[in-house]
Amino acid sequence: MTDPAVSRPDVSSLGYEQARDELAEVVRALEVGGLGLDESVALWERGEALARRCEEQLAGARDRVKAVLEHADDPRPEQ
């Protein structure tokens, strides 16, 4: 993770790949250690928010695939 003081984009504005990549950076930074308590807690909170964002994005993709598959199984011919 780069300088933790650098402002990061709002989690809700991130796409799946961006959130996933930043989450991996957060995990690495926490595993390496050497951070103060406040900084570690702030990173953990950011990581939790990133993980939730990834889950939201995956759930949306899952719903879209499910809708396409249900439509593909529809026996009615297209007109």
> What predicted TM-score, i.e. pTM, was given to this entire model?
0.78
Per-residue pLDDT, averaged over 45-68, amounts to 95
Domain ranges in the chain? 12-72
How far is it, in rounded angstroms, from Cα 15 to Cα 48?
Answer: 15
User: What digits encode the pLDDT tens for the residues 2-42?
Assistant: 455 467 899 999 999 999 999 999 999 999 999 999 999 99
Q: Are 53 and 11 in contact (CB under 8 A)?
A: yes
* H-helix segments, the chain: 16-32, 37-72
Per-residue pLDDT, averaged over 47-53, amounts to 98
Class at the top of the CATH hierarchy for domain 12-72: mainly alpha
